[in-house]
Every structure is written in structure tokens, then in C-alpha cells.
């Protein structure tokens, strides 16, 4: 599954990412990040110590092993570079043959977990108007199929879905064994995606939300048997019938989601921002970072009941959560935001991001 990218594509990819997404993709603390197993080549073209980090100009993935990279290009691990005063980590002159001109095409293996290469970015981002059109179409399709006017309107369907979203959130919060916040977010998105193209009059939300939870347990690797899963369903009169519904509707749910089951949530990039903030600006104020984390999580929990994941990338949602938490918890992080996050942006880009964040607030 090789994909061909030009140098400009790669530069655009890394520019559209954030430090939080870099931490997100590796799922490790940046201080202990190694190139082992990730097979990344990152070219550092200038040092900006005043921002607490080197400036990353472009990034690419290669099929070479980390030992081959180290031997061929004299690479250092991130930890070794982090502890040195000079930037000599992945020097550009050592990999110039890989990036010798803007016309050179590089054959790389796309990272299946990179947001900008994901189906979520390419298939599940909409405008507010597009969301309304999709839901209206789902409602109209049912009306035409049944040829009846005695049905729910689009607004009435939204009210029904809102009720069952709250029921789903409550079910996940009380689930045993406990579900992670990311797993709950994935489950909520499955439910929302399903009813973006289907009507509640066609499929009962209570059946669908149980199937969403059951599918999430598999995709998020929450190991649980069908028997243990059913024990979480209170007041169920017929356990065997419920089990049959779950097993028979599971494939239906997957098909309705177009087999696109990878969900990128804002929790991991938000945690990446907190780690980055603690590393560079709040080393002596760990309690402030914990307050930001707690308040930010509350913000992210509330976004699960909205359409925000259909409208914005997770990194922007995470950054908004951090800014909201800083205001709510009265923790000043202006210097971190202006220099560390916005430092390399043009004024027009910065203004666009500010407007986006203000919209989500």
C-alpha cells in the first residue's frame, strides 16, 4: 500500500499538523521518543531555542529500519538530541539524497493513524449545511419508502437522538469494566455517524447504541465476553434475544459506517499538549497542569454530545479545550500559546485559528 508524495506534499502535511499530533501519533512522552519502530525521518533545518524546540520543516516515512537509518545517515535518537545543546539530530545534509529537489517523488508508507490521511479527515468532515442536508435526506428517504406523512420530522428525530445520546453516555460511564474516555468518544461517534445517514424510524436507537458499545469494545481492544457485556444491561427481560440482536446487527453497523472504524478523538492530542506544556512552561507548577487537564477533560466530555467532530480536526478541538481550561482554571499560558504553538505561523494563519477557536468556544 505504498503512496507517492512529493516534497511539497510532505511539507504541507507536517505544517498542517501540531506538536500535539506528533505526540499523538507516537503515543509516548516526547522526551523518551525514539525512532525505533516508527521509521520516521525528520529534517530539522533551524534551531529555535527561544521556543523550547527545534523547528520541523518536513517529515517523511520510510520503509528502512531504524538501524539502517542510523548506519546510513548517522542518526541520533531523539533522547540523545534532546540532551545535547546543539541540533545535530537527523541533520539535513545527511539525508539530502532523499530530498534533493522539490520534483523528487518519494515512495512512502502512509501512517494509517495520521489524521490527515484518515477516512475521518477525508470522508467525515462536513459543514453545518452539509450535516443538515444529510439528516434531511435520511428523513425524506424514510418518508418516501413508507409513503406516509405520519412520521417524525427532522427536528423530532434530533430530539430523540439527543435523548439516546445521553442514555449512551450514561451507559458508557457506568460500564464494567470501565471504558476509557477515548473509547467512550469512539462509541459516541459511531452512534452519530450511523444516524447521519439513517433514520431513527428505521433503526431503534436503543438497539444501535448497544451495538455501538459492543463494536467499540472490539475496536478499542476492551476485552470482554458477550456474557459480561450483557451483564451491563439492566432490566433486560430477554438476555438471549438481546445477544442475538447484538450479533446480527454488528455487521449492519459496520456496513452503515462504510467499514471506516478508526476514530481520532481529541483526548490524546490534548494530553500531548499538557505534556508539552509541563515540559516547557509548567515544570515548577505541576498542580496547574493537573487543573488544566481536569477542566479540559470536562470540556472534551461535553463536546461528545455535539457535532464538533464532524466540523473540526481533533487537534483544533484539543487546543480549544486547553484554552478554555486556562481561562476556567485561571492558569496563564499566553506565552506558551503565542511562542510555542503560534510561533511559526503567519499573522493571517494565526487569525484564522483564533476565529476557529472562538467559534468552538
Nearest CA-CA partner of 194 in 145, 236, 249? 249
Residue 82 has pLDDT above 50, yes or no: no
Read out DSSP for 49-71?
GGGTEEEEEEEEE-SS-HHHHHH
Q: Which pTM was predicted?
A: 0.67
Residue 81 has pLDDT above 70, yes or no: no
Pick the CATH number of 267-360 from 3.40.50.1100, 1.10.10.10, 3.40.50.1370, 1.10.472.10: 1.10.472.10
Give the pLDDT band (50/70/90) at residue 1: very low
**What is the Rg, in whole angstroms, of the alpha carbon atoms belonging to the chain?**
23
Q: Nearest 5°: CA angle at 314, between 332 and 176?
A: 100
Residue 142 has pLDDT above 60, yes or no: yes
- Per-residue pLDDT tens over the stretch 20-58: 334 333 333 333 333 333 334 444 333 334 433 333 333
The answer to whether 206 touches 233, Cβ cutoff 8 Å, is no
Calculate the alpha carbon distances from 271 to 19, 109, 192, 311 in Å: 11, 26, 24, 21
Q: What is the pLDDT of residue 237?
A: 66
- Per-residue pLDDT tens over the stretch 91-123: 334 334 434 433 322 333 333 347 778 899 899
Instruction: Break the chain into its structural domains and give their ranges.
Output: 3-118, 121-256, 267-360
Architecture of domain 121-256: Orthogonal Bundle (1.10)
- Per-residue pLDDT tens over the stretch 252-295: 999 999 999 999 999 999 998 898 888 877 666 767 888 999 99
Segment 299-308 shows an average pLDDT of 96
Residue 204 has pLDDT above 80, yes or no: yes
Amino acid at each position: 500500500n505504498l503512496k507517492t508524495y512529493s516534497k511539497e506534499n510532505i511539507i504541507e502535511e507536517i505544517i498542517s499538523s501540531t506538536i500535539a499530533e506528533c505526540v499523538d501519533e507516537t503515543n509516548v512522552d516526547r522526551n523518551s521518543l525514539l525512532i525505533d519502530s516508527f521509521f520516521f525521518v525528520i529534517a530539522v533545518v533551524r534551531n529555535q531555542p527561544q521556543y523550547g524546540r527545534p523547528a520541523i520543516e518536513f517529515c517523511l516515512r520510510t520503509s528502512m529500519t531504524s538501524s539502517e537509518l542510523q548506519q546510513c545517515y548517522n542518526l541520533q535518537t531523539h533522547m540523545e538530541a534532546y540532551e545535547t545543546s546543539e541540533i545535530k539530530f537527523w541533520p539535513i545534509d545527511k539525508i539530502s539524497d532523499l530530498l534533493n529537489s522539490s520534483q523528487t517523488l518519494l515512495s512512502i508508507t502512509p501512517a494509517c493513524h495520521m489524521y490527515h490521511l484518515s477516512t475521518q479527515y477525508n470522508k467525515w468532515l462536513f459543514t453545518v449545511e452539509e450535516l443538515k442536508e444529510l439528516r434531511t435526506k435520511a428523513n425524506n428517504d424514510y418518508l418516501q419508502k413508507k409513503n406516509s406523512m405520519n412520521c417524525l420530522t427532522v427536528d423530532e428525530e434530533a430530539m430523540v437522538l439527543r435523548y439516546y445520546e445521553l442514555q449512551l453516555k450514561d451507559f458508557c460511564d457506568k460500564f464494567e469494566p470501565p471504558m476509557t474516555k477515548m473509547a467512550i468518544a469512539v462509541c459516541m461517534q459511531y452512534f452519530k455517524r450511523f444516524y447521519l445517514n439513517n433514520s431513527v424510524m428505521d433503526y431503534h436507537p436503543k438497539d444501535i447504541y448497544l451495538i455501538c458499545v459492543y463494536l467499540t469494545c472490539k475496536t478499542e481492544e476492551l476485552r470482554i465476553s458477550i456474557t459480561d457485556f450483557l451483564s451491563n444491561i439492566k432490566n433486560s427481560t430477554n438476555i438471549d434475544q438481546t445477544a442475538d440482536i447484538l450479533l446480527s446487527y454488528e455487521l449492519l453497523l459496520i456496513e452503515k459506517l462504510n467499514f471506516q472504524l478508526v476514530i481520532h478523538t481529541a483526548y490524546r492530542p490534548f494530553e500531548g499538549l499538557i505534556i508539552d506544556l509541563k515540559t516547557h512552561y509548567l515544570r515548577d507548577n505541576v498542580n496547574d497542569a493537573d487543573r488544566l487537564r481536569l477542566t479540559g477533560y470536562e470540556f472534551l466530555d461535553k463536546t461528545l454530545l455535539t457535532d464538533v467532530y464532524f466540523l473540526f480536526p481533533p487537534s483544533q478541538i484539543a487546543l480549544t479545550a486547553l484554552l478554555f481550561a486556562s481561562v476556567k482554571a485561571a492558569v496563564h499560558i499566553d506565552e506558551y500559546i503565542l511562542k510555542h504553538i503560534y510561533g511559526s505561523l503567519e499573522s493571517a494563519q494565526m487569525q484564522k485559528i483564533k476565529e476557529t477557536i472562538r467559534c468552538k468556544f
